Amino acid sequence: MLQNIGDMLHGQKWLSYLVLGILALIFVMWGASGFSDPTGFGGSYAAKVNGQKISAEEFRRAWQNEQPRYAQLFGGDLDETRRRLLQEQLLDSFIRERALMDRTEDLGFRVSPRQLVDALRQEPAFQIDGQFDRNQYYARLAAAGVTPAQFEADRRRQLQLNQLGVAIGGTEFVTPSEAARVAALETEQREVRYALLTADKFSAGPAFDDAAIEAAYKANEAQYTQPESARLAYAELTLADVSAQVDVTEEQLRERYEKEKDRFVVAETRQVRHILLPLEEGKDDPAVKAQADALAQRARGGEDFAKLARENSKDVGSAAQGGDLGWVDHSTLEPALSDALFALKDGEIGGPVRTRFGWHVIKLDGIRPGHSQTFEEARADLETEVRRQLAADEFGNRQEQLQSRIERGGVGLDELVKDFGLMRGEIPDFERGTGGAPLGSDAELNAEVFSERVAKQGAVGGPHALGEDRIVVFQVLEYRPAKLKPLQDVRADVVARLTRERGTERARKAAAEALPKLEAGEDLAKLVAASKTTVDPAMYYGRSDPTLPAEVRQVVFDSPRPEPGKPIRTVVNVEDGAALVEVTASRVPSGPEAELLRTQLAQREMDRRGSVEVDAYIAEILARAKVTRNEQVFE
């Protein structure tokens, strides 16, 4: 199953990748879980896709790995309905991937050894100072609990699925006329002159009497209500705190070293060039074999191998580089190709060798002998890995134990602080909705703080995850229900509201009365001069120009293009007022910058169309796939 081999267990996310926007599954590897494992999982398979089985065991492992994430999302055990929905969504992802892989195989998409090697070398997680490091590669995978063979198989599938997406999305194009229309629409500018009549220019008037103030206060009570709040005590546990408390012994380091000694072996690597002559899948072609034999003989006869590769190899990833596949170890290439390569002497020509990609002629260009790291050489990496693993295990254990203690009830926050070594704090004013520092405004945390059980019955809440490496438990020390603020405390706010509303109403009325005069040809600046409103000269604005008020910009570009000599004049209501607007002209800018923008817009339109095509193609694949689900797998 193509998966995000995320190392959440150790606080890393360096292996995440996405396939076609729909296949990413985050298999979080925390040790603790607030759920019971699913039982049953009847049958030997979870589903069949075009006759191929997705094993029940594979599905079960994925479901178990997902459960800690659900614990964070839902804060406890899943009810049966939600549990079933999440399991079905997970199985859907397996089915989608299997159906898409079937299609890529049918269409002949393949990932060459060079493409896989290049992808691995370009992964920043496997680099030191910008260069691929094989020891780093093995160490990272070992820390994630993934073998190189597993990761490389997953990476190969990802690349193959990406080929399908590129092949389909890449067929889209935009004609010059279409590109011109898109560019004209997106880059169009309109000449606008406007006057903002704001409430503050029209709000002067007699003071509001007590009856008006009281009526406005009662009509807007929600605005003058103090939300629920609490004096909140909390205690937190972070992965960093646990890591600092972990003792890593010499015995543990040596045990890990001895157990994983093979990981600290830097394998022999060889630099290889090849010439690939492909075959149709499942078919032999004597002519291709004869051509490969001839090329091998020419290379052995002294002809420049790089030149032969550039002229004859069909491996698009390496032909231009003279067939260079770089430095590889025995596990990098197809087995038959690796066997042949590692049987050669430096500078020797090998092959032809048959693989599933076709016939290869190879040349060995160099040898780097393998060697083993000593314990002392590997010690720093070992200590980091062991500490991270021990801390993650202990963090998960404490989270699980906290959950159990709180669920049993009858425990106070201070008791948990003492028993679990938590850091305690207090928030004097934790408000419904806005929360309070340092816990923030996390919606799920907020909801639990103000739940009946925690806010009013005094129970300890949590543990609640605030990120992947931080959990909190909490207890309300003082609960304050929502209450309406006394009128005398908010009187000034009520008066300010009435003043603003009066000014807004007058500004909009003045704009409406001025519009006929503007349409009759009177000058905009003179029309608003009495309100001391200034009017800037007409300017050209684009569709996303932030200097033009959003409400005005929307109306300006929703209107028809103005004809020469026939400006569009209108009133636009804005916050706390209105705008008198004149649109006098339209243009599409020219020049190098505009041309570059048009090119970018055309590319964006092609990308959009390609995305639509990919989505439709995936839907068609899924609709045609023969899928059988084993419903017993959810029991």
pLDDT for 96: 84
User: Peptide bond preceding 438: is omega within 30 degrees of 0, i.e. cis?
Assistant: yes
pLDDT for 635: 63
In single-letter form, the type of residue at position 131 comes to Q
Report strand pairing: 358-368 vs 349-355. Answer: antiparallel
Tokens of 407: 């669920």
Non-local (6+) Cβ contacts of 565 within 8 A are none
Tokens of 360: 């290869």
Alpha-helix residue ranges (DSSP H) falling in 260-374: 286-300, 305-312, 335-341
Q: Residue 476 forms beta bridges with which residues?
A: 232
DSSP assignment of 228-283 equals PEEEEEEEEEEHHHHHHH----HHHHHHHHHHTGGGGEE--EEEEEEEEEE--TT-
Place of tokens 């890529």: 104
Place of tokens 């998409």: 109
Cβ atoms 344, 284 nearer than 8 A: no
pLDDT for 171: 60
Q: Report how far residue 270's alpha carbon sits from residue 328's, in angstroms, rounded to the nearest whole number.
A: 5
Each residue's pLDDT tens digit, 383-427: 888 888 888 888 888 888 998 899 888 899 999 999 998 999 999
Q: Report how far residue 338's alpha carbon sits from residue 359's, in angstroms, rounded to the nearest whole number.
A: 14
Non-local (6+) Cβ contacts of 449 within 8 A are 230, 232, 430, 455, 461, 474, 476
Q: Report how far residue 38's alpha carbon sits from residue 60's, in angstroms, rounded to the nearest whole number.
A: 8
Q: How far is CA 613 from CA 164, 619, 624, in A?
A: 12, 10, 16
Q: Report how far residue 568's alpha carbon sits from residue 552's, in angstroms, rounded to the nearest whole number.
A: 13
Structural element, H or E, at residue 114: helix 113-121
DSSP assignment of 460-490 equals -EEEEESSSSEEEEEEEEEEE--EEPPHHHH
Tokens of 191: 């000449």
Residue ranges for the chain with pLDDT beneath 70: 1-43, 65, 67-79, 142-146, 169-180, 281-282, 593-594, 597-598, 635
Helix, coil or strand: residue 226: strand
pLDDT for 179: 65
pLDDT for 41: 39
pTM, whole model, 2 decimals? 0.50
Each residue's pLDDT tens digit, 167-205: 776 665 666 666 667 777 778 899 999 999 999 999 999
pLDDT for 18: 27
**Residue 69's closest CA among 440, 465, 400?**
465
Question: 23: which DSSP letter?
Answer: -
pLDDT for 582: 96
pLDDT for 174: 62
Beta strands in 7-161 (DSSP E): 45-49, 52-55, 127-128, 131-132
